Amino acid sequence: MVHKGWLAVLAAIAIAAAGGCTGEQPAESGGPSVRLYVFDCGTLHYDNADAYQLKKEEVARTDMSMACFLVKHSKGTLMWDVGAVADGGWTPTGSPVRMKIVLPDKGERDVTMRKLLKSQLAEAGYSLADITYLALSHYHWDHTANANDFAGSTWLTRKPERDVMFSTPPPDRTIPANYSALANSKTVIIDQDTYDVFGDDTVVLKSAPGHTPGHQVLFLNLPKTGPVVLSGDLYHYPEERRLSRLPVRDFNREQTAASRAALEIFLKEKGAQLWIQHDIGADEKLRKSPEYYD
């Protein structure tokens, strides 16, 4: 016969071993399990930074990274920004593919693509059907290219952004056909400054209008990495933040300035790092999926 006290000790050892083996925190230890995967959604080529009131010599590099992100939480998954070129619009070759994107207003953009978004998701172990939520920082072409693929997820958006996305005439700086299927998605219209996606303050959408009417940023509290904010396009270049320069063509530049001021206070309060999604130098240093940040 085994003594009752020994059973309790054995149970405690079993729980500790389970936690130690998987590397995941069991729910009973109190810490939620959150992971962030960073995907390579291409490079955007610019030979100047005029659109951000920055002289070429003030900017370390004028090219921009384009990243997509997947957040895995114990209660579900969230895709954040879904790329510049739809997977159906190009074919990977194993080498970087340089191509031109023509926007509806005939504006052309030079990009380099390396990997399909869906193959990167698959490498990380996820299919489209595994994605609970979709959130976009904003509707511009370089953040929405694969949005139709996520129409079966629940879309977390803000009314002014959704309204402009489906307005007539359609908005500029985007390809509305790439996100048209979201019109029929299950949708949560967020009407407060912050929206706590999984209810435990680890994954929070925060309003940051100005670049577009309903632009937002994403706050993550990662167990080991710590608090991080994904910028959307509140900033593009680190120099834009350091030198306090505003983009020339934002929807509302006063709003952008106010959103930036509010975010700086938020970052201090949370002790959070800011990851500027288009900052190519910073992006190159990030671990890419299937590795992840936890």
Where do contacts with Zn ion occur on this chain (CB under 5 A)? 142, 233
What is the closest distance, in whole angstroms, from the C-beta atom of residue 26 to Zn ion in the complex? 38
What is the closest distance, in whole angstroms, from the C-beta atom of residue 278 to Zn ion in the complex? 6
Closer to Zn ion at the Cβ: 142 or 161?
A: 142
What is the closest distance, in whole angstroms, from the C-beta atom of residue 259 to Zn ion in the complex? 15
Closer to Zn ion at the Cβ: 42 or 227?
A: 42
What is the closest distance, in whole angstroms, from the C-beta atom of residue 249 to Zn ion in the complex? 12
What is the closest distance, in whole angstroms, from the C-beta atom of residue 143 to Zn ion in the complex? 6
Closer to Zn ion at the Cβ: 64 or 70?
A: 64
Closer to Zn ion at the Cβ: 87 or 142?
A: 142
What is the closest distance, in whole angstroms, from the C-beta atom of residue 283 to Zn ion in the complex? 12
> How far is CA 183 from each of CA 32, 79, 122, 287, rounded to the nearest angstrom?
32, 17, 26, 34
What is the closest distance, in whole angstroms, from the C-beta atom of residue 12 to Zn ion in the complex? 50
Q: Three-state secondary structure along the chain?
A: CCCHHHHHHHHHHHHHHHHHHHCCCCHHHCCCCEEEEEEEEEEEECCCEHHHCECHHHCCCCCEEEEEEEEEECCEEEEECCCCCCHHHCCCCCCCEEEEEECCCCCEEEEEECCCHHHHHHHHCCCHHHCCEEECCCCCHHHHCCHHHHCCCEEEEEHHHHHHHCCCCCCCCCCHHHCHHHHHCCEEEECCCEEECCCCCCEEEEECCCCCCCCEEEEEEECCCEEEEECCCCCCCHHHHHCCCCCCCCCCHHHHHHHHHHHHHHHHHHCCEEECCCEHHHHHHCCCCCCCEC
Closer to Zn ion at the Cβ: 161 or 233?
A: 233
Closer to Zn ion at the Cβ: 67 or 228?
A: 67
Closer to Zn ion at the Cβ: 34 or 263?
A: 263
The residue assigned the tokens 């309790």 is 8
